[in-house]
Amino acid sequence: MEGFYRLVSYFQTQSEPAYCGLASLSMVLNALAIDPGRKWKGPWRWFDESMLDCCEPLEKVKVKGISFGKLVCLAHCAGAKVEAFHASQSSIDAFREYVMNCSASDECHVISSYHRAALKQTGTGHFSPIGGYHAGKDMALILDVARFKYPPHWVPLSLLWEGMNYVDESTGQTRGFMLISRPHREPGMLYTLSCKHESWISIAKFLMDDVPLLLKSEDVKDIQMVLSIIVTSLPSKFEEFIKWIAEIRRREDGGPSLSPEEKARLGVKEEVLKQVQETGLFKHVIRFMSTSCSIHSPTSGDGDTLPDIAANVCCQGAEILGGKISSSAEYCCHETCLKCCKAEDEKPVTMVCGTVVNGNSEQGVDVLIPSTRKSCCTCSSLSNSIRMHPASTDVLTVLLLSLPSTTWSDIKDERLLREINSLVSVENLPTLLQEEVLHLRRQLHLLKKCQEDKVDEDLHAPFS
């Protein structure tokens, strides 16, 4: 029952009849103290069902629920370490062993996907965490997130296993169980992939399927040609697909100084940004972007200036802090100001203050900006601040590093192939950036499987 005490502290009731999967996952993520990378309400960083929308639109989940495979995808994207098994891929003895091991620890939790009919309950498919194991009676404790129907209850493990062997008609696969634990470090501290915008499907397809074909068909001779082929062919608004995770707070929530937690997270983000800008690939990207005047380049124009980015991020921040899942286009940031605040060590930290308007209401939002330059800035120096924050060049560099290693394998020029493999090799990256890139690569792999509706066919952890 070791896992029970942590889980029961975060026990929640699903907010919609079809949200059992989302409620189970948010409960387990909170029990493991995994950082959601953003605030829930007020100053609190907390997983809520409304945040778990990267693999399936919430509107669709609300109507049809979520498949086992897509819940596994959500757990990966949320930053958890996940092992998942369809019942047809495992055995009752292996399942019992996993339940016993997780119940004896608070570092791993089991979510079961089962059919209620096997338990003589009303309803059909359901998700709930397992809160404990009784070895003498071979029973599992179900912490049922549909608390309006059933309280926590013990069930014979054999009956639960029978319920997991029901076939989910929507996927043709048996139900199953997943083991969720905390990674040794939060992934995605600075960058993340997003499928909240319609463009993500075309961008994911382009990156995973089209780029290798383009490089194979073209007679590329140098790195600049490789970048030209990729960048000029990128779907528009690719930066809606990969974006940096801003540290956002309501103005009334934050004082003039940073909290120790804000300071630590910002420090990691600044180090990741610095490591991106020290890669050999970044130097090639900078050279290409500075010499290319192509009107086809999706990164051309003034969108990289800090005031533009600040206004956009403030609107996104207001959307998140307001608990909205609609488009941030409903928000308008009519005022931004760049200033400095002090960390506890008196080091100046760049912060954008924005006033965001939504209808008749407005709110002040502060956005902490990861910086690679330590000088203090003021509002008058906005035009000189472009290289202080993640911009198109940084985002494009990280996106290229995150592509599967097989992307480049069909380049015909052997000298160029060796050079680009050296530039994009994950093994050559510093540890922080390496973990960031591997997380993005796993996300890209998962999103492609979701796009192709193959996530329920293959539950193995995404490749590294």
Catalytic residue positions?
20, 126, 144
Query: How far is Cα 445 from Cα 452, in angstroms, rounded to an integer?
Result: 11
* Listed residue (224, 204, 225) closest to 214, CA to CA: 225
User: Could you give the CA distance from residue 39 to residue 36 in angstroms, rounded to a whole number?
Assistant: 7
Q: Which residues pair with 127 in a beta bridge?
A: 113
Alpha helices per DSSP H over 292-412:
306-321, 392-401
Beta strand spans in 242-315 (E): 242-244, 247-250
DSSP string for residues in 24-62:
HHHHHHHHTT---SS-SBTTB----GGG--SSS-HHHHH
Sort 372 into a burial class: Cβ within 10 Å, 0-12 / 13-18 / 19+.
middle
Residue 460 Cα to chain centre, angstroms: 18
339, burial (CB in 10 Å: exposed 0-12, middle 13-18, buried 19+): middle
